[in-house]
Chain A
Amino acid sequence: MQDKIYDVIVIGAGMAGLTAAIYAVRANKKVLVLEGKTHGGQIITTFHIANYPGLPKVSGVDLMNSVYNQAKELGAEIEYAEVMKVKDEGEFESVITEDFEDGSDEGKYLARTVIIATGSSERKLELENEEKLTGRGISYCATCDGGFYKDKPVAVVGGGNTALYDALYLADVASKVYIVHRRNEFRGNAFLVDKLKTKENVEFVLESVTTKLIGEKKIEGLEVENLSHEKRTLTVDGIFVAVGRVPATEIFKDLVELDEGGYVKAGEDCHTSREGVFVAGDCRVKSLRQLVTASSDGAVAATEAVHYLK
């Protein structure tokens, strides 16, 4: 068991988690990063990052592979397993991964400090069959999957900038783009709305919510309902969901305090409500969620963890 004790266990190998790992190993700590998917986090779908200082136009994949290699070369260990639970075991927190739940005695690690860096994932519509039809007509990334809908009708659900950008992008690919939004006005940029209004194949379906996904094996349409409870069926081959993101913090709700939105409560020092547990990146309560603020948090959280270990 001795070898499974770490000074710092980082949960999540996105920008925040990998930066934390770099800072913690450089302070000579024994560090493990646990990642449930591939390393890199949400930025890997972005082809050109325009605002990362010093690396104009770097791709998300290149940037994150390089941060990953840096962390590894400096001596951080990285394991690919989803964390299911973090439990208080007195002197340590025990970090339990999916492998442990599967019944093996692998997959349980003891940490003197924990850094939560699990970021966020796309908010779902929470409709029946949504998961089953994901990849069969439902997508959460227009620039990734838009190409599959050349000359086909699609719908974008949402009212923020992501939804508007998605709709603009799709207007040039798809035959028809419905924008389904529950309000009369858009949260996103007015300039994007104006631009969309000039597109002949774009139709606004406002004050309407999506009530049903239509299609058994793949998406054939969606049912929407407006404020006067009138229903309408839109025939589409694809539905692009852009209704925001949610922090991946569900598993920590008994460990640390979260705000109403599910973000881990902590100030700029990245201390959570629990001693020895820190938080970094998009899953923390903060006003700007970007790569630079994620890496900044990673550095702060790791430095605070190192102080705590002294």
Chain B
Amino acid sequence: MIEGTSDNFENEVLKAEGLVLVDFNADWCGPCQMMKPVVEAFGEEHKDVKVVSVNIDDEEELSDSYEVSTIPCLVLFKDGKEVAREIGVISPKKLAKMLEK
């Protein structure tokens, strides 16, 4: 999983072709810890989707600009544009369903 920062976000996400899943999370957030293995397994299974993890405490600017106000928050980008968003803990299947949107 790539660590997303305000320095690399442009290149890794916004200018990236295809699908990128951004996982906004924090160390102190229990539901985020529960989602982490689910997101990692998703990344293993869907090699065509790049997975980027953003720590909202380190990257306040990024979480602000995407109006993240509840975590865990998963945002799916396609060719740099947001196409789907899910908050809270979700099952692996619901996560995979984001791709259908």
Contact = CB atoms under 8 A, between A and B. Distances in A.
Interface residues of B, number: 25
A229 B58 CA distance: 45
Interface in A19-38: 35-38
Interface stretch (B1-9, B11-19, B43-51, B87-95): B87-95
Contacts of A46: 30
A39 B91 CA distance: 9
Interface in A214-246: 217-218, 238
Contacts, number: 72
A80 B31 contact: no
Interface stretch (A137-145, A193-201, A256-264): A137-145
Interface in A237-283: 238
A173 interface: no
Q: Count chain B CB atoms within 10 A of each CB in A39, A44, A135 and give the residue with the most.
A: A135
Q: Count chain A CB atoms within 10 A of each CB in B26, B31, B69 and give the residue with the most.
A: B69
A150 to B, nearest CB: 9
Contact of A139 (B33, B67, B70, B93): B70
Contacts of B83: none
B90 A37 contact: yes
Given A144-B70, A144-B71, A59 B91 contact: no
A37 B91 contact: yes
Given A44-B89, A80-B91, A81-B93, A148 B31 contact: no
A161 B85 CA distance: 32
Interface string A142-155: 00110111000000
A80 B34 CA distance: 13
A60 interface: yes
Contacts of A144: 29, 31, 70-71
Q: Count chain A CB atoms within 10 A of each CB in B31, B67, B92 and give the residue with the most.
A: B31
A147 B91 CA distance: 26
B54 interface: no
Nearest to B33: A61
B70 A61 contact: no
A35 B34 CA distance: 13
8 contacts: A37-B89, A61-B33, A81-B91, A81-B93, A99-B93, A139-B69, A144-B70, A218-B69
